Amino acid sequence: MEQSFLAYLKGRTRSLLQVDVGIGDDAAVIRSPAWPLVACTDQIIDGVDFAFDEHDLADVGYKAMAINLSDIAAMGAVATSALVTLTLPKQNATKVAGEVYEGIIEAAKQYDVAIAGGDLSTYDGPLAISITVLGHVAEGQPWLRSGALEGDVVLASGSFGGSILGRHLRPTPRLELAAAIGKLATVHAAIDVSDGLSLDLDRMCASSGYGVELDVDAIPVHPDAIKLSAKTGREPFQHAWSDGEDFELLLSVSPEDAERLLAADLPAPLTAIGKIVGRTGLWRKHEGKFLRLSPQGYLHGE
């Protein structure tokens, strides 16, 4: 199927300026307008990360691209191009590839990412989609998890919880927001929320060697978390705290930069949810005492 499908793909994927040589040669030739180059990859597999029989394959393709773009946003980078590898079940391979690609192409168009190449193979096994996204940092340094400083304010984009009701299939990678923030502030540390607000926040703090004192009441709870709580009987806050797949950004910035960002007109809302403190872990102050909160979320492979 490879040759004819590649011909179809070549027609479907736009050529963008950032790619000199795309699909059709031994390797892609990609132009990076700036350094450093930033790269990430993520694979999703039927039966592990999605269910072939339940989910629209275009949605699954869209998600596979969007979760990578979210990682690029979390580095404060601009996404340029993507390499896409599909491992397809033998049955209806071309049809399945076409459906998955519809979502991949949709996300690529939306975020100006060129599909520069990839691979297709068929086998007797479940569908797996692996996407590698390349990007670059336009100005300043890439945002790492490890750079938070004591006294920083922790900002969160958007709101959290209940993504399983549908948002998880069509997440909004915060590329536009990251670009706007990069122009206004120096981000000390950042992470995107894939596995749970509290778990990913804990990861950023642990990488930095600090902890966070949270203003728990300030954490923005998504309306989906409230809807879901009616079904699960759990508090909406619990869903916001641990559900994951929100693909929002958590950022650690100086109090001055936090003030500037909170006053700015940005492509997505930001909320101050806590401050970086010397003691490691997640904390809340309650009646003058510090209470330790336990991070919860999705742990891979457990």
Return residues touching Mg ion (CB under 5 A).
71, 192
Of 144 and 253, nearer to Mg ion (C-beta) is 144
Residue ranges in the chain assigned as alpha helix (H):
2-12, 57-74, 93-110, 175-184, 197-208, 223-232, 236-242, 255-263
Give least dist CB 62 to Mg ion, A: 17
- The number of angstroms, rounded, from the C-alpha of 134 to the middle of its chain's C-alpha atoms is 14
CA distance 230 to 240: 14
Instruction: For residue 27, give both structure tokens.
Output: 């390797």
| Terminal-to-terminal C-alpha distance of the chain | 36
**Shortest Cβ 71–Mg ion spacing (Å):** 4
d(CA 195, CA 199): 7
> In this complex, which beta carbon is closest to Mg ion, that of residue 71 or of residue 246?
71
Q: Which is nearer to Mg ion, 74 or 273 (CB)?
A: 74
Alpha helices, DSSP H, located in 27-150: 57-74, 93-110
Backbone angles phi, psi at 6, to 5 degrees: -65, -40
Cβ nearer to Mg ion, comparing 207 with 271: 207
Minimum distance, C-beta of residue 98 to Mg ion, in the bound complex (Å)? 29
**CA-closest candidate to residue 131, choices 80, 68, 76:** 68
Residue 228 or 250: the one with the smaller Cβ distance to Mg ion is: 250
State whether the Cα torsion 248-251-255-259 is positive or negative: negative
Amino acid at 205: C
88 or 248, CB closer to Mg ion? 248
Q: How far is the CB of 173 from Mg ion (least distance, A)?
A: 10
What's the closest the beta carbon of residue 78 comes to Mg ion, in angstroms? 16
Q: Which residues pair with 286 in a beta bridge?
A: 289
Nearer to Mg ion, 101 or 111 (CB): 111
Provide, rounded to whole angstroms, the least separation between the CB of residue 192 and Mg ion.
4
In whole angstroms, how close is the CB of 142 to Mg ion at the nearest point?
A: 13
DSSP code of 247? -
CB of 66 to Mg ion, least distance (A): 12
Compare residues 236 and 246 and give the one whose CB is closer to Mg ion: 246
Q: What is d(CA 248, CA 267) in angstroms, rounded to the nearest whole number? A: 13
Tell me the backbone φ, ψ of residue 187, rounded to 5 degrees: -85, 125
Taking each helix axis as running N to C, give the angle between helix 93-110 and helix 57-74, from 0 to 180 degrees, rounded to the nearest 10.
Answer: 40
